[in-house]
Every structure is written in C-alpha cells, then in structure tokens.
Amino acid sequence: MTNAQKWVAAFLVIFIALFAISKLTESEENLAEDVDYYGESTNAAEDGLAMFRNSGCVSCHGQELQGTKVGPALANVKKYWDRDALINYLRNPSAYSGDDRFEVYRSTYNNIVMPAYSNLDVKDLGKMADYLLSK
C-alpha cells in the first residue's frame, strides 16, 4: 500500500467514525427541529387554513367561510362531503356538475366557476379538506 492510499484510508476511517458519533449523539429535539425546518407543521388546522388562504379561496368564500356574492358559504361542508369526496371535488369540480345542489349554485352565482386545484399536491388538498370539515 502506498503512502497516498494509507492517508486516504485513514481519512475515510476518521470520517466514518465522526459520522457514527454524530448520529449516536443526535437527540430527538434536533430531529424535531429538522422537521420544522423543512416545513412540516404539527398543527393540521393551521396548515389547512394556510392552504385555504394561499389558494385564493377566501376571495370567493370569505375569511370565515360565510360566503360572498361570488361563492357560497362553506361553514357546514361535512353535511355533504366526506374527506375523500371533498379532495376529489377540489381536484376536479366540473366532475360534480350534475348534482342538484350545484344547479342551485349555478343559478345563484351566474358565470362563476369553481377552479380545479389539480395542480396542488393531494397532501395539501387533504389539509385543506380537513380544515373545511372541521368547521
């Protein structure tokens, strides 16, 4: 073995030892901080509200889900939807256009179309659905 190979081997052994020590001494608190750093929140209601606001839903449905002249109230959506159906609706509202309830909305809110949120991740739509179903 040449001197260069010995130095590389020594460096690798030291690196692996330091890496192993760092993993062994890492606490659960540090892991929790890493999760928060990457944007995972533990409060699903806040995440859903943030998704609702960031997606522009408040402009039609209001800050408190009370509805506006542009969109209906969403205060009691759990009466009509379960979580999976609501996520599917948010992804493709036009697929539900044959429902009698939507005929009433169409006559009340002329020329207003619910946008599809198929561009959002299903996890984000799930957070939004959870928020709406909790109200």
Tell me how far apart the alpha carbons of residues 101 and 72 are, in angstroms, rounded to a whole number: 11
Per-residue pLDDT at 44: 65
Per-residue pLDDT at 52: 87
Per-residue pLDDT at 35: 44
Per-residue pLDDT at 1: 80
32 vs 27, 41, 43, 112, CA distance in Å? Answer: 9, 10, 14, 44
Q: In which residue are the tokens 């429902």 written?
A: 99
Eight-state DSSP code of residue 97: T
Tell me the whole-structure pTM to 2 decimals: 0.63
| DSSP states along 85-132 | HHHHHHH-GGGGTTSHHHHHHHHHSTT--PPP-TTS-HHHHHHHHHHH
Mean pLDDT for back-to-back runs of 10 residues, the chain (135 residues): 90 91 68 45 71 88 88 86 90 82 80 85 88 87
Domain boundary assignment for the chain: 3-37, 44-134
Architecture per CATH, domain 44-134, reads as Orthogonal Bundle (1.10)
Per-residue pLDDT at 33: 46
